[in-house]
Amino acid sequence: MTTLAGKQGLILGVANKRSISWAIAKAASDAGARLALTYPSERLEENVRALAAALPDPLLLPCDVTRDQEIAQLFRTLGGEFGGLDFVLHGAAFAQKQDLDNPFSQTSREGFRIALDVSCYSLIAMARESAPLMAARGGGSILTLTYLGSERVFPNYNVMGVAKAALEASVRYLAGELGAQNIRVNAISAGPIKTLAAMGISGFSSILQVYRDRAPLRRNIDAAEVGDVGVFLLGPQSRAITGEVVMVDAGFHVTGM
């Protein structure tokens, strides 16, 4: 069993109890890690605080990932509170609803910018700011969340698929750059789960059924299964793994028909 005893980590992207970020946060806490969680706005702060109440000694901090000054302040505070950082889970992603509902060719320039900024550039910014804190601990692990829509066309995934493709490329480039500091960068590509974000995609229930019918394991996955893989990738047992997109989808990605 992976232990994260004595480790300190940052979790981004918790929106509610169904969030994949929350599943990984809970698993990391159960494995012994002390966590800092962020909330992007006052609207979501109450949800995050209610969930964090179940964790031992959590640190809650505001951070809008589209604002460089807030990211810098986040890591200044973490440096003061933690002194160093062992891992970061990047679960931030967003696209405007009209850019998911409309045909992909109708994606607005502003919608494209927002999706790439929140869903991809924020990983780069987090890696840049977290690297010195991880170096102070002798290295660390950065983990992000992606989806198979980065490689294949899924109905109504549209600009988010492009953002996830850019995210996965960023994982590889960051892994190549930060490896010399013993900092690993990986992604989990999970199968569809009924998260708040997923339920905003039209036809999502049909995607769930296709996975159940065609995945080798003939079922959907649950968030706890992603949490277990997340703890593995954040912890020392995956110390030789970097630059990877790890599929957690009941094997759906291997199927042709």
pLDDT digits (tens, 9 = 90+) for 95-143: 999 999 999 999 999 999 999 999 999 999 999 999 999 999 999 999 9
CA distances from 188 to 51, 81, 225 (A): 23, 28, 11
For the chain, residues with pLDDT lower than 70 are: 1, 196-200, 202
Using alpha carbons only, how large is the chain's radius of gyration in Å?
A: 17
9: nearest Cα among 85, 80, 81, 74: 85
**In whole angstroms, what is the distance from residue 25 CA to residue 19 CA?**
10
**Residue 13 domain flag:** yes
CA angle 18, 2, 182 (to 5 degrees): 100
**Residue 210 domain flag:** yes
**Residue 257 domain flag:** no
86: nearest Cα among 249, 239, 252, 253: 239
* Predicted local confidence at residue 198, as pLDDT: 64
157 is catalytic: yes
**Per the residue annotation, which of 121, 157, 173, 211 is the catalytic one?**
157
**Residue 1 domain flag:** no
* Predicted local confidence at residue 204, as pLDDT: 78
Range of the domain at 238: 8-251
Bridge partner list, 143:
89, 186
**Residue 2 domain flag:** no
**Residue 229 domain flag:** yes
CATH of residue 86's domain is: 3.40.50.720
* Predicted local confidence at residue 257, as pLDDT: 80
* Predicted local confidence at residue 199, as pLDDT: 62
**Residue 218 domain flag:** yes
147 is catalytic: yes
Into how many domains does the chain fold? 1
**Residue 100 domain flag:** yes
**Per the residue annotation, which of 39, 121, 147, 211 is the catalytic one?**
147
